[in-house]
Amino acid sequence: QVQVVESGGGLVQPGESLRLSCVASESIFGLYKMAWYRQAPGKQRELVAHVMSDNSTNYSDSAKGRFTISGDIAANTVYLQMNRLKADDTAVYYCKMVGMNMYWGQGTQVTVSS
């Protein structure tokens, strides 16, 4: 059973940075996409960014210019560098890995507050 585990969340002040990491417990067959989503209280889960096996990336409007996704398909690992964090970025951040099957992590809490 593949497990996907996120780490790196925490409490930061507005304007600060965080780097989230996500790794799968074992190789995912056919892995071609890795993504970060987030879900704020009372809101639906939304895509933050994804990276494909060809290293192409896509970002939500709120993430563009502040967040950077990077990944290593061979290592089943994906990162999300988040800079200039805002209170609106407060959410649980989830990692998703997509291959022949799709796997979600349990999430890591990011809280941006002064």
Q: So what's the pLDDT on residue 33?
A: 97
Return the structure tokens found at 22. Answer: 């996500």
Q: So what's the pLDDT on residue 7?
A: 97
Best CA proximity match to 37, nearest among 14, 16, 58, 13 = 58
| Cα gap 51→22, rounded to integer Å | 13
Which residue numbers in the chain have pLDDT < 70?
none
Q: So what's the pLDDT on residue 72?
A: 93
Q: So what's the pLDDT on residue 68?
A: 98
Q: So what's the pLDDT on residue 84?
A: 98
| Cα gap 80→103, rounded to integer Å | 17
| Cα gap 21→93, rounded to integer Å | 10
Q: So what's the pLDDT on residue 31?
A: 95
| Cα gap 19→35, rounded to integer Å | 14
